[in-house]
Chains A and B, each alone.
Chain A
C-alpha cells in the first residue's frame, strides 16, 4: 500500500536515522524520488544526524587506517558521473544512490569485482583467464574483498616445489584465504593445478587454478577453513579430482 504524502513526510525522521524496516525504506525512497521538498528536508536533517554521529567520535583502533589504506591501494575507484551525459533529476541523487539498498549492493558487487581486477593487475595477471574467472567469480569476489579488508588479515608467501611462489592472504575471522601464485611451471593442456584444504575436517578440493598468464595465477578464494587445515597444491588432470593423486607441490600449515 502506498503511504499518503503526509505519512511519507512523517517518516522523514525515522528514515534519516535508519529507523525503518527495509520495506518501509523502499516505499519511502520511491516517494522521495518524486518529491524535491522531501529530498531537501532529508538533506538538512542529515546534517543534524551527522553532528550526532561526530559527537560519538572515538580514537581509531591501531592498524585500522593502515589496513584500509592498503586495501584502497588495491581497489579501483568508481568513475564520476559523465558530464557529457544528461543528468536528469540531480537533486538529492547522491542521497538516493546511498540510500537505495539494491543499487548499493550492485555497486558493492561491481566494486569488489573491480578489486579483484586491481589485485590481478597488482599481481600482474592480465585478461584471458582472469576475465573468465571474474565472470564466474561475482560471489567469490565479494569474499575476496572481505578477506583483504578483514582486520586480522595476514599475508604469507613461500616457494612452490617444482617452481614458483605462492602468496596467501588469510583471515581467521572470515575462515577464508586468497591464494595467488607467481612463476608456476607451465603444465601441458591435459594437466592443471588443483588447490586443496587438508585437515581434521577432511580433504576438500578448493578448485582448479585458472591457467596462468604472464606467469601469474589467481586470485582464488578458499573459504570454509577449519582449525588445523593445511593448504596444498598438486598437479592433476585438467578436469580435477576429488582427492589428490600427485605429490604435494605446496603444503602450508594454516
Chain B
C-alpha cells in the first residue's frame, strides 16, 4: 500500500545537514519521512503499513533492546511489546514533535530499561556492574560495516572519554547515572553534566538537530 499523505512532509529538509554524509543523507531523510508516513497509515489500521514499519525499524528496536537486556528470549519479548505498542498507539505519534524513529526508539529503550530494572535482582546487577568490561567495546561491537555505524563511531570518537563512557554505559547497558558514576569513579554531578554535554555534541555531530 503506497504511503500517500499521512504524516508525510517531515524529514526531507534534513537531507543536506551535517557534513561527511554524502550518499546516505538523502537515504536517511527519505527513510525518516517514509516511516512517519507509514505510521500515519498504521494509525488507520493498515496492516501492510505496519509490515513496512516493521521492516524499517524492527531491527533497530531489537538491536537496542538486546543490547540493554542481553538475554535473547527476553529481548524478543520486549521487542514484541514495543512493536505492538507502536501498532496500538500509532495515532498518538505527532510528526511535529520529533521523528518517527525517535518516537519508536524512545519507547524501545524505555521498555528495555524498565524490564532490566524490574526483573533484575540486585545482586545480579551488582555482579554485572563488577564484571563490566570496557564500555568502548560496546561501540566497537556495535559498529560493523554500515556507513551509519561509521558515522556514529566517528561522532562517539569526538567525545571525551568520560562523555563517551557515560553515554555507552547508560544507553547501551541501561545503567543509571549513579551506577555509571560508581563504575567510572566520578562524582554523580559530573556524570549528569557529561551525559548532557555528550548528547548535545552527538546531536550536533550527527546533524540531527531540529
Give the B-binding residues of A (Cβ under 8 A). Answer: 9-14, 16-21, 40, 43-61, 64-65, 67-69, 71-73, 75-81, 90-95, 97-99, 101, 107-108, 111, 114, 149-151, 173
Contacts and interface: CB of A to CB of B under 8 A. Distances in A.
Could you say which interface size class chain B belongs to? Answer: 35 or more
Interface of B: 43, 45, 47, 50-51, 54, 58-64, 66-67, 72-73, 76-77, 79-81, 83-85, 87-94, 97-99, 101-110, 113-114, 142-143, 148-149, 151-153, 167, 170-172, 174-178, 180, 189, 191-200, 202-203, 206, 208-210
A17 B198 CA distance: 11
The residue in B103, B105, B113 that gathers the most chain A C-beta atoms within 10 A of its C-beta is B105
Nearest to B87: A72
Contact of B148 (A54, A59, A75, A149): A54
A44 B84 CA distance: 25
A99 B106 CA distance: 9
A56 B175 contact: no
A14 B66 contact: no
A97 B92 contact: yes
The residue in B50, B60, B72, B88 that gathers the most chain A C-beta atoms within 10 A of its C-beta is B88
A65 B97 contact: no
A64 B62 contact: yes
28 contacts: A10-B193, A11-B192, A13-B198, A14-B170, A17-B109, A17-B170, A18-B113, A19-B171, A45-B203, A48-B199, A49-B102, A49-B199, A51-B152, A53-B109, A54-B105, A55-B143, A55-B148, A55-B152, A56-B66, A56-B172, A60-B58, A61-B76, A76-B88, A77-B91, A90-B94, A90-B97, A94-B97, A149-B84
Contacts of A64: 58, 62, 76, 79-80
